[in-house]
Amino acid sequence: MAQQQKRRATEPEPDDHGTLSKGEIFEVLRNQRRRYVLQYLKQDSRPVELGDLAQQVAAWEYETTLEKVTPEQRKRVYTTLQQTHLPKMDQSGILVFDSDDGVIEATDRTNDLSIYLEIVPGHEFAWRELYLSLGAISCALVAALWMGIYPLTMLPELGWAGIIATTMTITAVAHIYHERNMRLGHGEQPPELSYGRDD
């Protein structure tokens, strides 16, 4: 623990808001195993043993249960977490990794990291393109109604306004629901396992 206190005392202070830059966040979240680490830590902020973490990450990665994870699978995950991923995340201040004791501890940055997986390659949903398409369709519809194009004129303008407003509202609600469920730490398993993998 003395090593942790020494590292904390010498590491640079975070910015005023204690947040990471978008580049730092992307660098962490673009790797699946690091996303799984965050998922595990955000579910339970207590210090965890590296062995327990590796067992759960391996279970998620190989889409099996904790009991069915093989020693080879666990060792493979354990080694890369110990040598690569955890030191990198420790350096960013996202967690504290004591390599001597093999203990991982969440930090304020772990708990504040509210990033959705849609920014991670292979997990995007084109919400901006969807809104742009809906806006273009709405503008074209308004222009057609202004020119009196049949059969659009069979429905009153107020009716079309109601359809447009309802469509936009339903889309926004779906967007909010999607983002909430794609949040790291939401649910018992990583969002990408709940919604399927694209990569």
132 and 102: one domain? no
Q: Report pLDDT for 119.
A: 47
pLDDT tens, position by position, 71-84:
999 999 999 999 99
Q: Report pLDDT for 180.
A: 67
Instruction: Tell whether the model's pLDDT for residue 50 goes beyond 60.
Output: yes
Q: Report pLDDT for 145.
A: 87
pLDDT tens, position by position, 132-176:
888 999 999 889 888 988 888 889 888 999 999 999 999 888 877
Domain range for 131: 127-181
79 and 142: one domain? no
- Phi, psi for 186 (deg, rounded to 5): -90, 125
99 and 156: one domain? no
94 and 45: one domain? yes
Q: Report pLDDT for 97.
A: 95
Helices within 1-126 (DSSP H only): 2-10, 22-29, 32-43, 50-61, 71-80, 86-91, 108-112
Distances (CA, A) of 127 to 4, 110, 175, 182, 193: 42, 26, 7, 14, 21
77 and 154: one domain? no
Q: How many domains does the chain have?
A: 2
Domain assignment of residue 192, yes or no: no
Domain assignment of residue 64, yes or no: yes
